Amino acid sequence: MRIPASLDEFGYLNLDRKGAKLLFRIFTEREERKATAVATNSPFAEWDKAFGDARLRAAVADRITFRCTLIQTGTESYRYQATQESFFPASN
């Protein structure tokens, strides 16, 4: 059975060493077998803060970006933009 996974706001909270290793194992087990979606506002260069280990961060980034579709939407928050548009609709 193929079960997709989604991880939102990745990199927002720092992981302790045990949590970072567990997440690495999850990505490793899913690599090339199951769909995994990751949403983040943090560029890869800032993931060291979340993982606390540059080598572990590089290994995770390697696994989730191999044969992936990378969609960059910019730095503006979609949620913030939608909220702004609901309060201040564009006048036509």
The residues spanned by each domain of the chain are 5-87
Question: For the segment 29-42, what is each residue's pLDDT rounded down to a tens digit?
Answer: 888 778 888 888 77
Q: Both tokens of residue 67?
A: 């044969």
Check: pTM over 0.85? Answer yes or no: no
- Report the range of poorest mean pLDDT among 25-29, 34-38, 55-59, 76-80: 76-80
* Residue 47 CB coordination number (10 Å): 19
Q: In angstroms, what CA-CA distances link 62 with 27, 31, 57, 67, 68?
A: 10, 10, 8, 10, 10
For residue 2, is pLDDT > 70? no
Residue 91 pLDDT: 62
Question: For the segment 8-23, what is each residue's pLDDT rounded down to a tens digit?
Answer: 777 677 888 888 888 8
In CATH terms, 5-87 corresponds, of 3.40.50.800, 3.40.50.720, 3.30.360.10, 3.40.50.300, to 3.40.50.300
- Rounded Cα gap, residues 51 and 48, in angstroms: 5
